[in-house]
Structure 1
Amino acid sequence: MLAVSDLNVRYGKVEAIYKASINVDRGTIVSVIGPNGAGKTTLLNAIMGVLPSQGGIEFCGANIGRLTTEQRVAKGMCLVPESRELFAQMSVADNLELGAFTRYRRGDKGIKQSLDEVYELFPRLLERRTQLAGSLSGGERQMLALGRALMSKPTLLMLDEPSLGLAPLIVKEILHNISNLRSTGVSILLIEQNARAALQISDYGYVLENGDIAMEGLSKELANDPKVIESYLGMGGAGQDRDKK
């Protein structure tokens, strides 16, 4: 579904991503782990068209390197950023409706069904549908961010640290929901501060170090690799990653 080849991203003279190549197959979860400042968020932003880049980005067999972010969303890509970017002074229901903006423009008739599916996936959002987004708890805000993304009916969902700042029980619930999305046919590219959890729910993984892909393989193999264990899993899921690049 997604094929990124030899991707390069610069901040002025600083090379943040260097010849990074990753693939995401249809219906799979792919995780990217790595140390602080490795460039993982930069990687997602470049794929989404938020940042300029050089290299190849193919989505569903088509080169999308010249498409705008909005055009990539219309193609079926969606990014949930680390900051979630909710409209705090709008209700939960209105935030979800905004997620379907491009579908409204196309005259899509299935938006109500998608809304029902999001409420089924996240029952708490149904309970809070008239509540302002800014008054939600951290876990509820993350659910809303995921739900809003799903309202665009993506075929590829990119998530930047969905468990950041959440209590352990809420993290478990969020990651369980993400894992369940696989059964809906949505492909997921996941950046997660909890490297152990990311490898547990993903099918394939990449290790990004200094803007370069240092390792890759089946997630279960990476989780048992001595180097990965020592660097990212030795602290019981440390690998805390809050890089902004």
Structure 2
Amino acid sequence: MIDKIVLDIKNLSVSYGDVEAVSNISLQVKEGQIVTVIGPNGAGKTTMLSAVMGLLSSKGVVNFEGVAYLSPDVEEMVAQGMNLVPEKRELFSEMSIEDNLILGAFQRHRMGRRDSAKTMDEVFALFPRLKERRNQMAGTLSGGERQMLAVGRALMAKPKLLMLDEPSLGLAPLIVREIFRIIVELKRRGVSILLVEQNARAALQVADYAYVLETGELKIEGPASELADDPRIIAAYLGLGGKHQDKLAG
């Protein structure tokens, strides 16, 4: 049986003025896979995700669920089942956890899908801490809780592809482990995931396939377990003296 390809990016390039931030990137995410893109700060990882989502204009083709988009539109991509949890989480601080979650289901509601209560129960089952504090204002949450809410809000849209931008950024190691445990659980539930991450070790442990992005170009790719054992990756990203460790820690 041939694995269904959910996302197929071909020759994606993004420029800021005359500067090309991302150059001719091609990558795939298959159904039910966790695919990770690792690389140092400034490599173009966030730019790539923003272009795929339609938040930045780009050149190249984004093929999602069998439909080719030459310049994706963010509303259309969400409607088709793509969702992005941005690095800054971008929650509504003056609104409760529950209201933030309800907003995540806005597009489905607009399309006539009235299943948000059931979906919210599923999110609360994944994140019991959010359920306990469902009436608390988002602005009063800890960093880990904010990340859980950002992921939960994206799940309210019932995405076919969930893109996560640096989900471990700024979180304590214990919380990072919890977030990655949830990422694996989402895969088990059939969500395809594109994970951009500065914590290379954690990302390679959970991913099926991995790409290394440096200075806007994909340099290395392969099964995540193989990249975790690749001397070049160990030297650059996994060893204590790795050349990118200082950048990855920030």
TM range (shorter): over 0.9
1:217 aligns with 2:222: yes
| Number of the residue aligned with 1:41 | 46
- How far apart are the structure 2 equivalents of 1:135 and 1:163? 19
Q: What's the TM-score, normalizing by structure 1?
A: 0.96
**Alignment CA distance shift 1:185-1:82 (3 Å):** same
1:175 aligns with 2:180: yes
Between stretches 9-18 and 233-242, larger displacement belongs to: 233-242
Between stretches 147-156 and 100-109, larger displacement belongs to: 100-109
| Number of the residue aligned with 2:113 | 108
> Quick one: which of 126, 135, 156 aligns to 1:151?
156
1:113-135 deviation digits (Å, cap 9, x = unpaired): 10000000000000010000000
AA partner of residue 217 (structure 2): D
AA partner of residue 179 (structure 2): I
Between stretches 102-111 and 88-97, larger displacement belongs to: 102-111
Q: 1:235 offset after TM fit, Å?
A: 2.2
> Quick one: which of 116, 125, 129 aligns to 1:120?
125
| Number of the residue aligned with 1:230 | 235
> Quick one: which of 205, 208, 219 aligns to 2:210?
205
Q: 1:24 offset after TM fit, Å?
A: 0.3
Between stretches 37-46 and 234-243, larger displacement belongs to: 234-243
Please state whether the residue corresponding to 1:78 is helix, strand or coil: strand
Tell me, which stretches of 5 or more residues in structure 1 are unaligned?
none
| Number of the residue aligned with 2:73 | 68
**CA RMSD of superposed structures (Å):** 1.5
1:185-236 deviation digits (Å, cap 9, x = unpaired): 1100001111000000000000001111100000000000000000000129
> Is the 8 Å Cα contact of residues 35 and 239 (structure 1) preserved in structure 2?
no
| Number of the residue aligned with 1:195 | 200
Aligned length: 243
> Is the 8 Å Cα contact of residues 161 and 191 (structure 1) preserved in structure 2?
yes
1:2 aligns with 2:7: yes
1:19 aligns with 2:20: no
Q: Which runs of 4+ in 1 moved over 3 A?
A: 236-243
> Is the 8 Å Cα contact of residues 235 and 241 (structure 2) preserved in structure 1?
no
Q: 1:242 offset after TM fit, Å?
A: 8.3
| Number of the residue aligned with 2:3 | none
AA partner of residue 46 (structure 2): T
- How far apart are the structure 1 equivalents of 2:163 and 2:249? 16
> Is the 8 Å Cα contact of residues 168 and 176 (structure 2) preserved in structure 1?
yes
Please state whether the residue corresponding to 1:103 is helix, strand or coil: helix
Name the % identity: 59
Q: 1:239 offset after TM fit, Å?
A: 6.8
Q: 1:65 offset after TM fit, Å?
A: 2.7
The structure showing larger relative contact order (alpha-carbon pairs under 8 Å, at least 6 residues apart) is 1
> Is the 8 Å Cα contact of residues 194 and 240 (structure 1) preserved in structure 2?
no
- How far apart are the structure 2 equivalents of 1:66 and 1:206? 23
| Number of the residue aligned with 1:136 | 141
> Is the 8 Å Cα contact of residues 64 and 72 (structure 1) preserved in structure 2?
no
Q: 1:66 offset after TM fit, Å?
A: 3.5
Please state whether the residue corresponding to 2:187 is helix, strand or coil: helix
AA partner of residue 151 (structure 1): M
Q: 1:240 offset after TM fit, Å?
A: 4.4
- How far apart are the structure 2 equivalents of 1:236 and 1:161? 22
AA partner of residue 115 (structure 2): G
**Alignment CA distance shift 1:144-1:112 (3 Å):** same
**Alignment CA distance shift 1:107-1:172 (3 Å):** same
Q: 1:36 offset after TM fit, Å?
A: 1.8
1:121-158 deviation digits (Å, cap 9, x = unpaired): 00000001000000001100000000000001100000
Q: What's the TM-score, normalizing by structure 2?
A: 0.94
Q: 1:64 offset after TM fit, Å?
A: 2.2
**Alignment CA distance shift 1:239-1:229 (3 Å):** farther
AA partner of residue 184 (structure 1): R
Q: 1:167 offset after TM fit, Å?
A: 0.6
Please state whether the residue corresponding to 2:170 is helix, strand or coil: coil
